[in-house]
Chains A and B, each alone.
Chain A
């Protein structure tokens, strides 16, 4: 049996997957961090369904929304700084979306 293994392709998979994940997760997390900085901390309630697990209750969600609003009021940033943080947050989310789109196009292009 002539065993020829293309180890480079395994390295390629690892590097490509690592790069894609780090870019997507990193920029998405950065976007969330900047949203908080802009005074718009996201508070997302769980979807309503009967059997699966509710991660936070409505009461907890209301409490979190209140805490987020309080933190936004106490923010030492000026309106301009907050607006800049918001723009950067959306830019980070856009980088995420473009990374995913680019990856999919790369697969289609190779195909």
Chain B
């Protein structure tokens, strides 16, 4: 009994560590654009992101319920095996998260978590313990649809912002004011991140508590909500300091109006999805918005090669973290209690090794920049966009007047 309790405590600690890496990994997603466009000082941006992640975690528990009450049939797994399975799944997720963070590969913390849990469950128990219907409808489909949705919305919002503020007389258009607006929209993205991402860890801890018989309802307990909220906020704050130096460099082309629209659509998509219990990747939604808003500017073109690289990174996350989770589960299945100990030692070694390696490397755009910033490069925007129909008409009128004046002067 004591060993089981110890294992549960160990798994909760590991889940909270995942929550910390999630905040650490995703700080830039919320705050990349306001820093790039000069709307906020990095110090203020990161503190604001941390506080709003904390607040967001208390906003809803629908995503937590999706994870704790749907993806895995906990009644088909013995309570003695279940903590070890979750432990293995979390090791898969954390290892993949740290590895992609170090290598600067586009990835999603959420999909790493799902991949790790699914891979570990399949190997440790069998495919029948997974509800693939819920996995498909609440994880896989939203993963495909949400970035597209965010992209379409950001495209429309950016067009709207530019059309409303466009001036044809060359006088100030007031678009500078979007920089102030970005303080609010980026805050909303941070809030949305807390609402969706903190809940994933809440869901995992709740699932564990249900499986060992310490809880019956899929609703997360208050201490779980507090623990996850505080941990993701701490991760966000800590992560920010590392990425701060190079945060904005991938987003040189993002104008304040575009950044404002992208963030508004990211926040709206994540918040409305969270309310319906869809477990989204905030990285993917924010990337979709940045690409969509880039296309909303005149004279922009998609760099399909960059888009392809980002999408391949996303597609790899689920199977890769699943493979690591499956491997960790295999060791547990073969060696029992010793397997858990070996997994723990291996995980600590991998995490410490990756962390030390990251400290040796210089912080640059390849290893510290957010994936969202990377997606800013997926759209090529020309410096001198082609004129709008009305601008062309004005140009023609001016040319006609000029030629008329020249004719008058020659007579």
**Interface of A with B (CB < 8 Å)?**
1-6, 9-10, 12-14, 16-18, 20-22, 24-26, 28-33, 35-36, 41-49, 51-56, 64, 67-68, 71, 100, 103-104, 106-108, 110-111
Q: Could you say which residues of chain B place their CB within 8 Å of the CB of A36?
A: 165, 167, 171-174
How many chain B residues have a CB neighbour from A under 8 Å? 73
Q: Does B176 contact A (CB under 8 A)?
A: yes
Q: Could you say which residues of chain B place their CB within 8 Å of the CB of A16?
A: 268, 272
At the interface, is chain A mostly helix, strand, loop or mixed? Answer: helix
Q: Could you say which residues of chain A place their CB within 8 Å of the CB of B60?
A: 107-108, 110-111
Q: Does B264 contact A (CB under 8 A)?
A: yes
A-B contact pairs, 9 of them (CB 8 A): A17-B269, A17-B273, A21-B153, A24-B185, A32-B165, A49-B42, A54-B38, A67-B172, A107-B60
CB proximity of B140 to chain A, nearest CB, Å: 10
How many contacts between A and B, using CB within 8 angstroms?
A: 187
CB proximity of B131 to chain A, nearest CB, Å: 9
Fill in one digit per residue for B28-44: 1 if any A CB lies within 8 Å of its CB, else 0. 00000001111111101
When C-beta atoms are compared, the residue in chain A nearest to B34 turns out to be: A47
Q: Does B252 contact A (CB under 8 A)?
A: yes
Contact, CB under 8 Å: B173 / A10 = no
Task: Given A20-B272, A42-B180, check contact A25 B42 (CB 8 Å).
Answer: no
What are the 3 A-B residue pairs with the smallest beta carbon separation, nearest first? A46-B38, A42-B177, A29-B164
Contact, CB under 8 Å: A21 / B37 = no
Q: Does B161 contact A (CB under 8 A)?
A: yes
| Chain B 168-188 interface residues, beta-carbon cutoff 8 Å to A | 171-181, 184-185, 188
Contact, CB under 8 Å: B179 / A33 = no
CB proximity of B107 to chain A, nearest CB, Å: 23
Q: Could you say which residues of chain B place their CB within 8 Å of the CB of A52?
A: 35-36, 38, 42, 244, 247-249
Q: Does B246 contact A (CB under 8 A)?
A: yes
Out of A1, A13, A32, name the residue touching B273 (CB < 8 Å): A13
Q: A104 to B58, alpha carbons, bound, how many Å?
A: 12
Out of B62, B149, B157, B174, name the residue touching A33 (CB < 8 Å): B174
Q: A108 to B58, alpha carbons, bound, how many Å?
A: 9
